[in-house]
Amino acid sequence: MGLTLRLGGAGAFAALLLLSLSPGTATAATRHYWIAAVPVPWTIVPNGRDAINGVPYDAGRVPFETVVYRSYTRKWERQLPHAYGIQGPLIRGRVGDTILVHFKNLDNLVDHPHSMHFHGVHYPFGSDGSFIPGHSTRGANVKPGDSFTYRLVAGRDSVGVWPYHDHSPSMMESISGGLYGAVSIRGAREPAPDREFVVFLAALNDFMTIDGRAFVGNTPLFQARVGDLVQWDVLTLGDEFHTFHVHGHRWRQPGGGIVDVQTLGPAESFRIRWREDTPGTWLYHCHVESHMEQGMIGLYRVTR
Amino acid sequence: MGLTLRLGGAGAFAALLLLSLSPGTATAATRHYWIAAVPVPWTIVPNGRDAINGVPYDAGRVPFETVVYRSYTRKWERQLPHAYGIQGPLIRGRVGDTILVHFKNLDNLVDHPHSMHFHGVHYPFGSDGSFIPGHSTRGANVKPGDSFTYRLVAGRDSVGVWPYHDHSPSMMESISGGLYGAVSIRGAREPAPDREFVVFLAALNDFMTIDGRAFVGNTPLFQARVGDLVQWDVLTLGDEFHTFHVHGHRWRQPGGGIVDVQTLGPAESFRIRWREDTPGTWLYHCHVESHMEQGMIGLYRVTR
Amino acid sequence: MGLTLRLGGAGAFAALLLLSLSPGTATAATRHYWIAAVPVPWTIVPNGRDAINGVPYDAGRVPFETVVYRSYTRKWERQLPHAYGIQGPLIRGRVGDTILVHFKNLDNLVDHPHSMHFHGVHYPFGSDGSFIPGHSTRGANVKPGDSFTYRLVAGRDSVGVWPYHDHSPSMMESISGGLYGAVSIRGAREPAPDREFVVFLAALNDFMTIDGRAFVGNTPLFQARVGDLVQWDVLTLGDEFHTFHVHGHRWRQPGGGIVDVQTLGPAESFRIRWREDTPGTWLYHCHVESHMEQGMIGLYRVTR
């Protein structure tokens, strides 16, 4: 059901969008993502310790089951290898692209409804994925075993990184369990970076995590070489505000000043790019001290 | 007392201000507002429920008395109808205008002093309205039954939306009870919006409220049509930081990047404008999850 | 040990830096600072009261010992007079300058290691001052009695104010005790301000302090005259987010909008400048209400 209506709605919607798209959309693509909400075992502190402060965290080694987004081949036939992190697959697009996200709820852990709600991109109301009794459409409340296709368009005003997350009736518990991911939109003529780091800051159980892991040695070890165009995509969801810091580097905020620490609150996100010029084994971390102490810290290694 | 002094002070002050005002202030007006601090009964959750999560909040239906700012005719003879929200009247001006706010303390509920302190606009020290023993003037500590006139000037650097609030010795309890409002300044040649929404985010009793109300069905239902120039004036006071989000839309921060979520902390405020192009029944909310769960969420309906 | 290596590393590093420096670095200087971490007695509320709310704080009059940064003559022979505040000496530079900070750990209070980690400026990895087992160099873990020289360079992207702080294994307790300070970098052709105010917002014991002091009468009384070029350098460290406000004034955010309140989170910092034009005895404070109530408020007096 709904397919014709949905296409009809999207058609009218696409016409409205024309002014938002960049010139030269002739090369715009339609991209398909097959994604499911699925339980996985997860471990927050695989090595069981905070290496910097020399504190053991045995409880952090115990895996627990949680529901996350994972990528699949067409029609959810086979789960694809996952890059890294508790967050779902990185959904990529370029300005002008249509992105079809085919979502299936494979959550047999708690048998809850789920959905996908996307920031930054354009979509008709039917693809909003947010539960509002009496208003929302089927895509806001996808029951276990059911599926839904969200239709998104990357506008010129969508360039950058944005979160996506559950917005169904179970969103509060599912987001705190890791049911989120990132959308990455590149400008029509923007070059690809040489290195691309996704930094998802979030509370998880009693830890403050980066990509679902806590403490140096567990959080991602990002690597680059001098001369690389490096891209940091920084996001957060939940209740906490963070200040993202990378040692030994500075960046310009969009249209603004130069900083080496930047605040982000729940559902905010930003993209930082620089041409790497400083070798070292640098810390990156949230500069809220208690968050750093609870694990929100990692290493960034730059070699010549 | 004080009238001559005040006019004298304001005269010298006005001379200093000339460089801040836009050219073409020939049409600048003097606007008068008659405002009182007055007790009203208030109800945070009139329909007694969180419709999205299906949770009853019977305690939220019980009205309580609290002191707010309300608008009056000349010399506080008759209270004017109030637009909406717990916040006081929207004080409007254009660049170059002088705004005289005639304030009277009609608080017979707790018999406390009150005052008005304004953000964003220019004023001489005597109109600051902030209590500092040994320094502040009468307008910082207006006793029940007393009145005071604040003299404000809208400079070119005052364009946008700003909070006003009690800054008397009773400010801590009165602000948390709703004794605040918004000042809205329009540029000399800036067009008026077709739709104007004031979103005041604040904790109130055990709820997180928008304009003093909690949960969809109680918070304002904002409405617009495709093609409308829509203006959101977003403010907060108190202890909390928020991240304001509107579904299905994005906006450009002043001189900065494009976002669909924006942080604001106590006494920060911002104005967002867009030409509406996307029909739907959209959620707007604070994206701090616990705030959303405690009621800081509403609906924005766009029709063709 | 390490001197030759360090110079070698810094030499290679300086070559990489050339593109970051402004033209006309011919006048660039090498500046030396001799700084130690040293215990001092400190009092948060010398006058024992919150003058605005008329509340006594006798506990705040009791001095306690805490470790701070203080400035010395060459080879730490004699401690220099300290300007004001719990924070360490203001480290100044201009774009193109090399700044050598000679640090000695004179902490005989708790016998902990300390270090200095600098924001905003350029430095080779060996001058990062951050403890990472297996990676960091001697400057990240300076034992009592030991010393280390950090080699910093002020790039064009270093203009403004930045925090420095302990990043050794004892950083969590030492930062909350006041072991921090500010680096102030001026552009190559930027004029010096007539008045320069350093506002360091931080929790200290049970108070919210400005430069280590709480409540009007204890926090700095900043002073200026009409016509002065006034500079506010605002910083914070710790766990808290703040919103800095000055009454009766507004400023432009870098490349952004005009505000009179600005959020800053842990390790964020910003510089505000204006030409003073408004006499009065103005409040400056954090606008988070509970922080204001716990002492984060002071006076700024402008005379003709």
Q: Round the CA-based radius of gyration of chain B to a whole number and report it.
A: 20
Spatial strand order in the sheet of C98-105: C64-72, C30-42, C98-105, C147-153
The two tokens of residue C217 are 């009468």
- Looking at residue A2, what is its pLDDT? 24
A42-68 burial string, b = 16+ CB within 10 Å, else e?
A: bebbebbbbbbeeeebeebeeeeebbb
Contact state of C158 with A250 under an 8 Å Cβ cutoff:
yes
> Does C253 sit within 8 Å of B120, measured CB to CB?
no
Average pLDDT of the residues in A17-26:
42
Spatial distance between the Cα atoms of C167 and C147, rounded to a whole number of angstroms: 15
Query: If you count DSSP H runs as helices and E runs as strands, how many of each does chain C have, helices first?
Result: 3, 21
Q: Which residues contact A216 (CB under 8 A, 6 or more apart)?
A: A50, A51, A52, A283, A297, A298, A299, C132
Residue A225 CB neighbours (<10 A): 14
Closest CA relative to residue C35, chosen from C98, C85, C102: C102
Q: What was the ipTM of the complex prediction? A: 0.91
The DSSP code for C157 is G
State the pLDDT confidence band at A111, using cuts at 50, 70 and 90.
confident
Q: How many angstroms separate the CA atoms of A17 and A97, rounded?
A: 12
List CB contacts (< 8 A) between A221 and chain C. none
Q: Who among B16, B120, B131 is closest to C52 (CB)?
A: B131
Q: How confident is the model at residue C274 (pLDDT cuts 50, 70, 90)?
A: very high
The alpha-helical segments, DSSP class H, found in C240-293 are: 289-293
Are B43 and B60 in contact by the 8 Å Cβ rule? The answer is: yes
Q: What integer pLDDT is reported at residue C15 of this predicted model?
A: 35
Question: B48: which DSSP letter?
Answer: -
Q: What is the pLDDT along chain B (304 residues), one digit of tens a residue?
A: 222 222 223 333 433 343 344 444 447 899 999 999 999 999 999 999 999 999 999 999 999 999 999 999 999 999 999 999 999 999 999 999 999 999 999 999 888 999 999 999 999 999 999 999 999 889 999 999 999 999 999 999 999 999 999 999 999 999 999 999 999 999 999 999 999 999 999 999 999 999 999 999 999 999 999 999 999 999 999 999 999 999 999 999 987 899 999 999 999 999 999 999 999 999 999 999 999 999 999 999 999 9
Sequence letter at residue C45: V
Q: Is C8 on the interface with B (CB under 8 A)?
A: no
> What would the mean pLDDT of C159-186 be, rounded to a whole number?
97
Return residues 145-174 of A near B (CB < 8 Å).
Answer: 155, 157-160, 162, 169, 172
Q: Of C227, C259, C255, give the one whose Cα is nearest residue C245.
A: C259
Q: Per the CB < 8 Å rule, is A265 touching B293?
A: no
Radius of gyration of chain C (CA): 20
Cβ contacts (< 8 Å) between B165 and chain C: which residues?
none
Average pLDDT over residues A102-113: 94
CA–CA distance, A281 with A246 (Å, rounded to integer): 11
pLDDT of residue A7: 26
Quote the pLDDT of residue B19.
Answer: 36
- Beta carbons within 10 angstroms of residue A159's beta carbon: 22
β-bridge mates for residue B272, sequence order: B232
Looking at CA atoms only, how far is residue A214 from chain C in angstroms? 15
Residue A14, pLDDT > 90, answer no
On whether the CB atoms of residues B255 and B279 are closer than 8 A, the answer is no
Q: Is A63 in contact with A125 (CB distance < 8 Å)?
A: no
**Interchain CB contact of B49 with A (< 8 Å):** no
Question: What does the angle CA A122 – CA B214 – CA B300 come to, to the nearest 5 degrees?
Answer: 30
Cross-chain CB nearest to B268 (options C263, C278, C281)? C263
Q: What is the pLDDT of residue C254?
A: 84
Confidence of residue A255 (pLDDT cuts 50, 70, 90): confident
Q: Beta A30-42 vs A98-105: how paired, if at all? A: parallel
Between chain B and chain C, the number of residue pairs with CB atoms below 8 A apart is 99
- Over residues C135-155, the pLDDT tens digits come to 988 999 999 999 999 999 999
pLDDT number for residue C20: 43
Which of chain A's residues have a Cβ under 8 Å away from the Cβ of C267? 243, 245, 261, 287
- Measure the CA–CA gap between B282 and B298, rounded to whole angstroms: 8
Contact yes or no for B197/B232 (Cβ under 8 A)? yes
- Specify the pLDDT at position A82: 96
C-alpha closest to that of C288 among B267, B39, B22, A201 = B267
B262 CB within 8 Å of a chain C CB: no
Question: Residue written as tokens 């390790």?
Answer: C267
Q: What is the pTM of this model?
A: 0.92
Is any Cβ of chain A less than 8 angstroms from the Cβ of C135?
yes
**Sign, Cα dihedral of A63, A68, A71, A76:** positive
Tell me whether A55 touches chain C (CB under 8 Å).
no
What is the arithmetic mean of pLDDT over A168-194?
96
| Candidate from A235-239, C19-23, C32-36, C195-199 with smallest mean pLDDT | C19-23
Contact B298, B210 (CB under 8 A): yes
- Selecting from A120, A124, A254 the residue whose C-beta is nearest the C-beta of B256 gives A254
Judged by DSSP in three states, C213 sits in strand
How is residue A227 written in tokens? 């001369």
Residue C303, chain B, CB below 8 Å: the answer is no
Segment A121-129 shows an average pLDDT of 98
Locate the chain B residue with the closest alpha carbon to C288. B239
d(CA C215, CA C210): 9
Structure-block tokens of residue B27 = 């049409």
Mean pLDDT in residue range C171-181? 96
Distance between CA atoms of A272 and A253, rounded to whole angstroms?
Answer: 8
Q: Which of B91, B48, B113 is nearest to B233 (CA)?
A: B91
Spatial separation of the C-alpha atoms in residues C203 and C296, rounded to whole Å: 9
List CB contacts (< 8 A) between C175 and chain A. Answer: 289
Q: State the Cα–Cα distance between residues B190 and C142, nearest whole angstrom.
A: 59
Q: Which run of H or E residues covers position A270? A: strand A269-275
Which stretch of DSSP H or E encloses residue A259? Answer: strand A258-259
pLDDT at A151 over 90: yes
**A119-135 mean pLDDT:** 96
Q: What is the strand order of the sheet A180-186 is part of?
A: A91-94, A180-186, A160-165, A117-118
Pairwise CA distance, residues B293 & A176, whole Å? 13
Task: Read off the tokens for C190.
Answer: 């930027």
Tens of pLDDT, residues C246-270: 999 999 998 789 999 999 999 999 9
The per-residue pLDDT for B165 is 98
Alpha-carbon torsion A102, A105, A107, A112, what sign? positive
- Write out chain A residues lying below 8 Å of C122, CB-based: 248, 278
| Nearest-by-CA chain B residue for C257 | B254
- Is the Cβ–Cβ distance between A29 and A53 less than 8 Å? no
Strands C297-303 and C280-286: antiparallel
